[in-house]
Amino acid sequence: MVSAAEMLSVAAFLENKHAQAFPSFGSERMGAPVMAFCRIADKEIRLREPVMQPDLLIIQDPTLLHQVDLFSGVPADGYILINSTRSFDALGLGDFCLGLRHERLCTVPASELALKHVGRALPNAALLGGFAALTEVVKLESVFAAIRQKFPEKIAEGNCAAAQAAYDLVLAEKVAAKLGGMVAEQKLAAQNA
Amino acid sequence: MLKQTEGSHAIAECVSLCRPEVICAYPITPQTHIVEGLGEMVKSGELQHCEFINVESEFAAMSVAIGASAAGARSYTATASQGLLFMAEAVYNAAGLGLPIVMTIGNRSIGAPINIWNDHTDSMSMRDAGWIQLYAETNQEAADLHIQAFRLAEELSLPVMVCVDGFILTHAYERLDIPTQAQVDHFLPAFEPRQVLDPAEPVSIGAMVGPDAFMEVRYLAHHRQMRALELIPQLSADFQQGFGRVAGGLIRSYRTEEADTIVIALGSVVGTIKDVIDDMRELGQTIGVVSICSFRPFPSAALHEVLSHVRRVVVIEKSLAVGIGGIVSHDLNMALTGVSGVSGVSGIAIKTYTVVAGLGGRAITKTSLRALFDQVLRDELPPLTFLDLNHEAVTRELEREKSRRRSGPAAENILRDLGAVAAKIG
């Protein structure tokens, strides 16, 4: 997770943005919940408090969903990306999603994509690919460049492939959600008429 | 070159550009990434003509740095928290002997209770050890201060601590400009020691000094630090000329024009304070912030000048002098009375507020600072405040202690009270 925030900050930097990535410094033990933060801006970032109201939340480990209050501070128009093969409904988040913008909520099987393309279930790169598709805050090419800075060539290429696959999936999901939303709106409009 | 990198790594790169000849390393969170980075550079050959010595403790780290520096080698080490306490005796010796060692402190609290997070208690505990202490506001400044620190140390023959907020800066990835070797070589000449252990020209260093001369030697240490008050701004100006950006200096002011309230702070919290000041200025409130970069020597005259027109001063301190309150505010009050001997400048009384904040890594948020400064502007803040202290939890523990003699360890009681899992075996 810390590496994901770091790579995201590098991707933003490569687009001439200012970015600040830092981990939450919890218990240093395997298996403990870990958070990392990234701020991206067009000017110097001076703020040093933890991110308490994220515009986007990436959940790397969905087993935390019902253990820790992960969503506190996420605004109604926020983005949420979850590493899972299941949908928001299947994850038991159907009710939670009411009132949120559906095209900004996505799940992506990042661990499975990493297993397929990298050989290990390390979902960072795939989640960043998904992030690029979902928010368009950074370009996929910048995510690739950040991955290539971080890893040796062979591992980097696997991670880039995972990021590309996640990007494609999230883009398709986003389009579907938008279409779904439009259909729903049309239905509503027809009813109202 | 501009790059997106970790604060610790940027510090390691800048230290390496200063061509240290001896690096003594003992790991302790949160400075470990710095010496790890330097170790890798020595191993890869990127940093040449440098002995990287893994020592068995912090006490050894400073002792080896003392020996190396006395033998004429440019010497560097880094530590934090209990590590600094463990090397304390040698820290005083390095300064007493006048050896220009540079040491990074990855600022972290001191136990008990054990806590790995950031505050300034560690470096503040060594404020009277005779070292120059510089506090970095950003990672760029942390990197840049190391380049200035070697030159400052060697010109004065005094050791310098560069204090960098642990985790908040050391572990943050940001856009940083790493200078070239040529730039650093131009700014920092080769080390020409004032005293050196040389078999060809034997001297003894560290002789016993009795009552007839000790006062004079100690006075000279003070005198040299007073000279640093002139040298630090000069080096900062030189640095700006060579590197094209501002770093270091004694103090830095932000939006203090016509301010009747000024906030004083050290280190990375100044960034958050600046954001709050901008918000308040937009509403027409006349408030500004002054960051102290050089805490030792204490920039009394510079502060006296910048505070000459204000009504209120709020000192945000990441440390606590148990039994009295503030450390920085105590020094500040001395600076304000220094000239006339009467509190206040030019006969006008200045209200000073001490705010202890961020101990053991407690986040210092914009929201809390804003509420605090609003209270100050209404003249409603008590002289000593603990920012975001959970008074209810404290009261409950005091009740427990009152109700039974064997109330148990306070730290574990508070953890249990708050629902956090206390360290418990079995």
pTM for this model (two decimals):
0.94
Reported ipTM: 0.91
B175 at interface of A, judged by CB pairs closer than 8 A: yes
- B113 upstream amide cis, omega within 30 of 0: yes
Per-residue pLDDT of B267-311, as tens digits, reads 999 999 999 999 999 999 999 999 999 999 999 999 999 998 899
Distance from CA of A146 to the nearest CA of B (A): 10
Confidence band for A178, pLDDT divided at 50, 70 and 90 = confident
B271 at interface of A, judged by CB pairs closer than 8 A: yes
Report, as an integer, the average pLDDT of B305-331.
95
Distance from CA of B206 to the nearest CA of A (A): 42
Please state the separation of Cα B17 from the chain's center in Å. 22
List of chain B residues whose C-beta atoms are within 8 Å of the C-beta of residue A21: 172-174
- Euclidean distance between CA atoms B238 and B261, whole angstroms: 31
Confidence band for A185, pLDDT divided at 50, 70 and 90 = low
Please state the separation of Cα B295 from the chain's center in Å. 7
Residue with tokens 């080390």: B191
List of chain A residues whose C-beta atoms are within 8 Å of the C-beta of residue B29: 28
Per-residue pLDDT of B78-99, as tens digits, reads 999 999 999 999 999 999 999 9
Which residues of A touch chain B, with CB atoms under 8 Å apart? 5-6, 9-10, 13-14, 18-23, 25, 28, 45-50, 52
Average pLDDT of chain A is 90
B194 at interface of A, judged by CB pairs closer than 8 A: no
Cβ(B98)–Cβ(B71) below 8 Å: no
Confidence band for B401, pLDDT divided at 50, 70 and 90 = very high
Q: Which two tokens stand for residue B210?
A: 């009795």
Distance from CA of B150 to the nearest CA of A (A): 27
List of chain B residues whose C-beta atoms are within 8 Å of the C-beta of residue A18: 174-175
A10 φ, ψ (degrees, to nearest 5): -65, -45
- Which of A120, A118, A119 lies closest to A163, judged by CA? A118
Those of residues 100-139 in B touching chain A at CB distance below 8 A are 116-117, 138
